[in-house]
Amino acid sequence: MTTATATTATSDVTDLTDLDADIRRDPAAHRVLTGDRPTGPLHLGHYFGSLRNRVHLQRLGVEMFLVIPDYQVITDRDIADHLAEHTENLVVDYLATGIDADRATIFTHSSVPALNQLLLPFLSLVSVAELHRNPTVKDEIAHSSQATVNGLMLTYPVHQAADILFCKADLVPVGKDQLPHLEVARTVARRFNERYPHPDGTTVFPRPRALLSSAPLLLGTDGGKMSKSRNNSVPLAADEDTTARLIKGAKTDTDRRISYDPAARPEVSNLLLLTALCQDRAPEEVAEEIGDGGAAALKRTATEAVNEHLRPIRARRAELAADRGHIRQVLRAGAERANATADATLTEVRAVMGSL
C-alpha cells in the first residue's frame, strides 16, 4: 500500500515510511489506539486518512484498540436517536475495510468506566488556558450546532488523552486535524509521569505519536475538510451512482489543464490525490493523463477509481450489515477486553498517586 512521504519525521508525528521496518522487526513493541466519533457514516477521509493505516498495522501484527467515543458526541450535538445505529455502522465499516475483530479491541466509551475515570487526574494536569488555545476545539466549537460551549467540549482533548493512555498506546493513526489533541495527550503523559513516577523511577505512560497517512487532510466536495457533519463527504457505504453524483458536484476550478498543485489548486489536487490513492500511483501521473480534459474528465476518472477501489469493500459491507447480532457481539467482546485493560491501568494510576 501507499505510505506517506510528505510528512516530517519529528518525534511527535510519524508516518509508515519511517516506522515500517521498525514495526516489522518487533510488532509487539507497539500498540495502536484510534477511533471515530459515532456521528455518521465513515467517508473517504477516514479511509485514506486513518483506516487503511490501521488495517496495515494490524496485518503487521500490532495490537489494535478502536474506541467509538459515544460520550464525545454529546459535546457538540444531540444525536441520541441515532447513536446505536451510527456505532454499529462504524463497526461494519471497520470489518469491511479489513480490521480483524478477533484481534482488535473495538469498544464504546460508555462501556468502559475505568477509562473515563482517568479523566479526573488528567484534568488536574492541564490548564484552562491550554484548553482554550486548542485549535481543534476552536474549530469544533465553530461547527457545533450548540448555542454555548459546554465543559465536556472544552475538555474533549483530555478525554481523548484518557482514550489513548488507558491502553498505553504509542501509535495513533489520525488525520491532521487531530494533531493538537495528540499534543495534549503527550503533555498529559509527560506531566503525569513526572509527577507520579513508580517508586523505582519507571513511568506509567508512553508518549504517544500521531501516525499520519499520505492523505492527512482529504477535502470534501465543498473544498473544506471532509467531515461527517459538514454535508460534504463521500461515504464508504454510498452506492456507485451516489458516489458519481457527489463527486460530480465537487468544487473545482475553471483551468482546463489539470495539474497537481495542492497549494494553488487544492480542490483539483484533492481529486487527483483521491484517484491516485485508489490506484496506488502518483497524483502527478493522473494529472498528466487527464491533461486538458478539464474538471469533468477529472471527476469521471475520480469516480471510476473510487467506485472500483471500494467495490469489494462495499460488497463485504453489505454482507456484514445484515448480521447485527455479530456486530453487537464484536462490541461486547471488545468492551470486555477494554475493561480489563482499563481496570489494570487505573489500579496502577491509583497506586502511583497514593490512592490505594
- Residue of the chain from 218, 234, 274, 278 that contacts ligand ATP (CB under 6 A): 218
Under the criterion CB under 6 A, does residue 182 sit at the interface with ligand ATP? no
Three-state SS string over the chain comes to: CCCCCCCCCCCCEECHHHHHHHHHHCHHHCEEEEECCCCCCCEHHHHHHHHHHHHHHHHCCCEEEEEECHHHHCCCCCCHHHHHHHHHHHHHHHHHHCCCCCCEEEEEHHHCHHHHHCHHHHHCCCCHHHHHHCHHHHHHHHCCCCCCCCHHHHCHHHHHHHHHHHCCCCEEECCHHHHHHHHHHHHHHHHHHHHCCCCCCCCCCCCCEEECCCCCCCECCCCCECCHHHCCCCECCCCHHHHHHHHHCCCCCCCCCCCCCCCCCHHHHHHHHHHHHHHCCCHHHHHHHHCCCHHHHHHHHHHHHHHHHHHHHHHHHHHHHCCHHHHHHHHHHHHHHHHHHHHHHHHHHHHHCCCC
Only one of the segments 13-21, 169-177, 196-204, 282-290 lies at the binding site for ligand ATP (rule: CB under 6 A); that segment is 169-177
> Is 165 or 204 the residue whose CB approaches ligand ATP more closely?
165
> Is 136 or 252 the residue whose CB approaches ligand ATP more closely?
136
What amino acid occupies position 268? V
Only one of the segments 45-53, 105-113, 117-125, 189-197 lies at the binding site for ligand ATP (rule: CB under 6 A); that segment is 45-53
Only one of the segments 36-44, 93-101, 125-133, 258-266 lies at the binding site for ligand ATP (rule: CB under 6 A); that segment is 36-44
Under the criterion CB under 6 A, does residue 227 sit at the interface with ligand ATP? yes
Nearest distance, CB of residue 37 and ligand ATP, angstroms: 4
Only one of the segments 1-9, 42-50, 117-125, 201-209 lies at the binding site for ligand ATP (rule: CB under 6 A); that segment is 42-50
Nearest distance, CB of residue 180 and ligand ATP, angstroms: 11
> Is 175 or 208 the residue whose CB approaches ligand ATP more closely?
175
Under the criterion CB under 6 A, does residue 209 sit at the interface with ligand ATP? no
Under the criterion CB under 6 A, does residue 177 sit at the interface with ligand ATP? yes
Only one of the segments 34-42, 59-67, 147-155, 264-272 lies at the binding site for ligand ATP (rule: CB under 6 A); that segment is 34-42
> Is 45 or 334 the residue whose CB approaches ligand ATP more closely?
45
For ligand ATP, what does the binding mask look like between residues 134 and 153, x meaning CB under 6 A? Answer: --------------------
Q: Which residues contact ligand ATP by CB under 6 A? A: 34, 36-37, 39, 45-46, 49-50, 174-175, 177-178, 215-218, 225-229
